Chains A and B, each alone.
Chain A
Amino acid sequence: MKDVFKRFFFGKREKYWWMNVLVPLVSILLAFIVGAIFIKITGRSPVVAYKLLFGASGLFPGPYWKSHFSEMLLSSSMYIATGLGFAIAAKGGLFNIGAEGHFIVGGITAAYLGYAKPFAGLPKFIHLPLIIVGVILAGGIWGAIAGYLKAKRGIHEVITTIMLNWIALYLIEAWLVIGPMKAAVETGISGTPYISLSAKLPKILPPTRLNISIIIILAVTFLIWYLFYKTTFGYEIRTMGHTLIFGMEAPKAAGINVERKTIQTMFIAGAVAALGGAFMVLGVLFQYPPIFEGGYGFDGIAVALIGQNEPLGVVLAGILIGALRTGATTVQLAHIPKTFPSIIEGFAVGFIALQMLIRYWLMKLVRGRKKSVQTEMGGGAK
């Protein structure tokens, strides 16, 4: 039983498999150290700052923990969604910058299906799943457009996803929200109307705002992990991820339909990122506001990079970023701008980018001597 369990979840490990875990951890640690140095240089106390930051992050018990904790998980679920959006595409060798667009497409779809008449009257157990399906389709299609343009027209996904982000933004903010989907003037609401009660995500930790979004996204993460490593579909995505960017053609030569897989991968990436937008609308804002405070899409890239594009890693990184953001406002008490956590996030990503170096350095540390380091790291053999 234990064996089957191990087999199912771990497969065969490398000799230095824990390196893959240690490297991101060390990167994050380094980011905090560099952050501390910065605070120190500007003449403030890093200890106080970090105490405040983590005290209010929701990660550790303390005053108002319940509310911090729920806020942390609320935002984490969105970061995990957009992080997965990037990671799924990256596993297939695609550089998806489109999570921001998928996020707002998901948001506006959730808002519409949440207030519009034929749906709004339905019972919750029908209405809510219906909205989720709608969001998945809308986000998925938005993602698949970029996949299609890549597969059939050869246009690079970075270009198309960025363009689609802008298209989504203008469609929504310059038209839908102030036009067809605008709330009636007499209600005095700006943005779209509020969603009906049956569309709100059920709460799980009253009196806080925490809702089932975190459970949904954890389930989705498991599904994605299963898809990657246990199915033929994920197998094909991974063959592409290891070859596409290097211009290698092995998967195609083996008869894998790379074009179709590209479109499908982008569909899934878009669908998952769009869930994040739905969480925002169905669990936090309850409408689509005239101007959406975005950024979740781009933070998703950082989350995915810190999480090494692995589903479990993305969850942990998403929780970390969620926690930093939750604690952010309190660092102002130490006279530090509340954008400080983003700086830490930036450093962490920077160190992740230097991971080969960190890996090399750790390996040296581990083995005591400098012998044959580069090869064990998988330096290419003939």
Chain B
Amino acid sequence: MKALEVKDIVKQFPGVLANDSINLSVNKGEIYAIVGENGAGKSTLMKIIYGLYTPTSGEIFVFDKKVDIKTPHDAIGLKIGMVHQEFMLIPRFTVTQNIVLGDEPSKGIVFDYKKALSEVKELSKKFGLKVDPAEKVANLPVGIQQRVEILKILRRGAEILIFDEPTAVLTPEETEDLFKTLMKLKENGKTIIFISHKLKEVIAIADRIAVLRRGKLQGIVEKGKTSEVELARMVVGRDVVLKIPKAETKVRETVVSVRDLTVKSKRGIIGLKEVSFDVCAGEIVGIAGVEGNGQAELVNALIGFTRPVKGTIAFDSKELRVITPFNIRKKGMAYIPKDRKMRGLVLPFRSRENIIMGQHTLYPFSKNGVLNNIEIDKFTTKKLEEFDVRPRDIHTRARNLSGGNQQKLILAKEMSMEHKFLLASQPTRGLDIGAMEFVYHKLIEEKERGMAILLISLELSEILGLSDRILVLYNGEIVGETTPDKTNEEELGLMMLGLKKKKRVTK
């Protein structure tokens, strides 16, 4: 039985044909993956199915019935649910409150919290999704928040579950948990559609994989009949070698040196404890660790969003008393934030306006405080080409760019800014493999040019491939320091879980 079928779906945005007569059919109880380049039209297609966009033309069938989905409300009525990349949960509410929100069980007119609690417990048992129903969402790690999100749509009776890049924000362990959940849902007869750029995962879990390119359906492959290499070729249209080039490291003077840094987290507890390390010109220092073990606190202290409780940060051997984003950027720090919407871009701004943010006061973008539009346009045109941001139109608003292209725009902005220290937090989040390859080359190139780079990533392969030194963060402390040739993924994994320590060679 077909759970979902789309016929000749076309979506035309002004100037961009996002979906070009796409035909897909998804069987009931199937895990169906959609892969494709950044800007290929994956999210657009899913948003059409979920009623967030209306297609320019085309038909949708749900359980063999032709339907007209105008709003997400219609979609929910047809038992279609979507887990968005940004979760739509209310942090102050408990898990239960969030799950029942909008459709609360009641006693008369009073909200029946007890009944809600037991409903949530039952639901979580049925699908094997462990959550603490009474815990506040704000206190949960991303993986569990995603679980809450899944429970929420299951409670609404969803039979078809759509996930837009669910694993982009997850750690490898959380991804494994999610996949277990997906298998369980599949056993329960649910249909799952998910988008991912991580081809290895896709091959591991999907029954069928559809490849989109430039709005067109490129092909559909069955489970077990493809390899990562072949799939990668289908996605980007050329061979990709995700082998990271080994570059010679010529370590020079220390650029950033952190001593005994202790930082409070947003929740007010100590999130980073007496951490010390150096980053030198010409090297990449990788920070490995499960999300929420002090990375956010470290980043916030370095960029000047939070004032440390204790400890010092020195830049070019000069200790900085007070760090603000303003003064640290002036000293030559570039920062690729992991949250592109909150910290990376001004969404209503056009590419040309976004790309100069932070260097807008510098020549040639402005002179005596007056912007030079001609220079800005020239620069933007060049950078969009170099970083392959699509569409190339310098006037596209950031909110109309696809997720991966937003990320490329941030990379273009930060990496072309005059800097000697690059703080890169999840720089490849949401990028397709082609773009990922490009970023790896860029980072190596920067290092060879003598930049100091601090790379924070959840992706162990990235850490192992790029770093000259690796620091492992666990529970706010550096529990080990090593180099890629003296360790492997297993050992790093153990260290990240606090099960193994490795003596630090340097300080």
* Contact of B400 with A381 in the complex, beta carbons under 8 Å: yes
Contact partner, A381, options B324, B357, B371, B399, Cβ 8 Å: B399
CA of A371 to CA of B401, assembled, Å: 21
Question: B53 contacts which chain A residues (CB < 8 A)?
Answer: 372, 374-375, 379
Question: B401 contacts which chain A residues (CB < 8 A)?
Answer: 381
Q: Which of B305-341 contact A (CB under 8 A)?
A: 305, 324-326, 328-330, 335, 337, 341
**Chain B: interface size category:** 35 or more
CA of A378 to CA of B400, assembled, Å: 8
* Contact of B54 with A372 in the complex, beta carbons under 8 Å: yes
* Contact of B348 with A242 in the complex, beta carbons under 8 Å: yes
Binding site for A on B (CB under 8 A): 11-14, 43-44, 47, 52-56, 85, 164, 303, 305, 324-326, 328-330, 335, 337, 341-350, 353, 357-358, 360-361, 366, 369-371, 373, 395, 397, 399-403
Distance to closest chain A CB from B106 (angstroms): 31
CA of A215 to CA of B447, assembled, Å: 58
**B374 nearest CB neighbor, chain A only:** A7
* Contact of B85 with A253 in the complex, beta carbons under 8 Å: no
- Given that A255-B325, A371-B56, A382-B402 are known contacts, is A242 also in contact with B347, CB under 8 Å in the complex? yes
Q: Which of A216-233 contact B (CB under 8 A)?
A: 230-233
CA of A253 to CA of B52, assembled, Å: 31
Distance to closest chain A CB from B287 (angstroms): 19
The verdict on A254 contacting chain B, using a C-beta distance below 8 Å, is yes
Could you list 20 examples of A-B contacts with CB < 8 Å?
A231-B370, A232-B371, A235-B353, A238-B349, A239-B349, A242-B348, A243-B346, A248-B342, A248-B346, A248-B347, A253-B325, A254-B358, A255-B325, A255-B328, A255-B329, A255-B330, A371-B56, A375-B13, A375-B53, A378-B397
* Contact of B52 with A379 in the complex, beta carbons under 8 Å: yes
* Contact of A7 with B342 in the complex, beta carbons under 8 Å: no
Question: A232 contacts which chain B residues (CB < 8 A)?
Answer: 360-361, 366, 369-371
Distance to closest chain B CB from A371 (angstroms): 6
**B403 nearest CB neighbor, chain A only:** A382
* Contact of A372 with B56 in the complex, beta carbons under 8 Å: yes
* Contact of A251 with B369 in the complex, beta carbons under 8 Å: no
* Contact of B343 with A12 in the complex, beta carbons under 8 Å: no
- Given that A372-B55, A378-B397 are known contacts, is A253 also in contact with B370, CB under 8 Å in the complex? no
Task: Please give the number of chain A residues whose Cβ is less than 8 angstroms from any Cβ of chain B in the complex.
Answer: 37
CA of A117 to CA of B303, assembled, Å: 54
- Given that A255-B329, A372-B56, A374-B54 are known contacts, is A235 also in contact with B11, CB under 8 Å in the complex? no
Question: B402 contacts which chain A residues (CB < 8 A)?
Answer: 381-382
CA of A379 to CA of B44, assembled, Å: 12
Contact partner, A382, options B164, B303, B348, Cβ 8 Å: B164
Question: B44 contacts which chain A residues (CB < 8 A)?
Answer: 381
Distance to closest chain B CB from A242 (angstroms): 5
Question: A255 contacts which chain B residues (CB < 8 A)?
Answer: 325-326, 328-330, 358
**B345 nearest CB neighbor, chain A only:** A250
* Contact of A253 with B369 in the complex, beta carbons under 8 Å: no
Question: B345 contacts which chain A residues (CB < 8 A)?
Answer: 250
CA of A253 to CA of B326, assembled, Å: 8
Question: A379 contacts which chain B residues (CB < 8 A)?
Answer: 52-53
* Contact of A235 with B52 in the complex, beta carbons under 8 Å: no
Question: A257 contacts which chain B residues (CB < 8 A)?
Answer: 324, 326
CA of A12 to CA of B396, assembled, Å: 10
The verdict on A373 contacting chain B, using a C-beta distance below 8 Å, is yes
* Contact of B325 with A250 in the complex, beta carbons under 8 Å: no
* Contact of A249 with B397 in the complex, beta carbons under 8 Å: no
Distance to closest chain B CB from A19 (angstroms): 13
The verdict on A153 contacting chain B, using a C-beta distance below 8 Å, is no
CA of A307 to CA of B55, assembled, Å: 34
* Contact of B329 with A254 in the complex, beta carbons under 8 Å: yes
**A255 nearest CB neighbor, chain B only:** B329
Distance to closest chain A CB from B350 (angstroms): 8
Contact partner, A250, options B11, B328, B342, B400, Cβ 8 Å: B342
What sequence of 0s and 1s flags, for each residue 271-314 of chain A, a beta carbon within 8 Å of any chain B beta carbon?
A: 00000000000000000000000000000000000000000000
Question: B12 contacts which chain A residues (CB < 8 A)?
Answer: 372
Contact partner, B343, options A15, A249, A372, A380, Cβ 8 Å: A249
CA of A264 to CA of B373, assembled, Å: 24
The verdict on A252 contacting chain B, using a C-beta distance below 8 Å, is yes
* Contact of A253 with B344 in the complex, beta carbons under 8 Å: yes
Contact partner, B11, options A372, A373, A380, Cβ 8 Å: A372
Question: A251 contacts which chain B residues (CB < 8 A)?
Answer: 346, 357
Q: Which of A326-381 contact B (CB under 8 A)?
A: 370-376, 378-381
- Given that A248-B341, A379-B52 are known contacts, is A235 also in contact with B395, CB under 8 Å in the complex? no
**B354 nearest CB neighbor, chain A only:** A250
Distance to closest chain B CB from A80 (angstroms): 25
Question: B324 contacts which chain A residues (CB < 8 A)?
Answer: 257
| A232, A372, A382: most-surrounded residue (chain B CB, <10 A) | A382
CA of A126 to CA of B304, assembled, Å: 47
Contact partner, B357, options A231, A250, A378, A382, Cβ 8 Å: A250
Question: B56 contacts which chain A residues (CB < 8 A)?
Answer: 371-372
Question: B346 contacts which chain A residues (CB < 8 A)?
Answer: 238-239, 242-243, 248, 250-251
The verdict on A256 contacting chain B, using a C-beta distance below 8 Å, is yes
Question: A256 contacts which chain B residues (CB < 8 A)?
Answer: 325-326, 357-358
Question: A235 contacts which chain B residues (CB < 8 A)?
Answer: 353, 360, 371
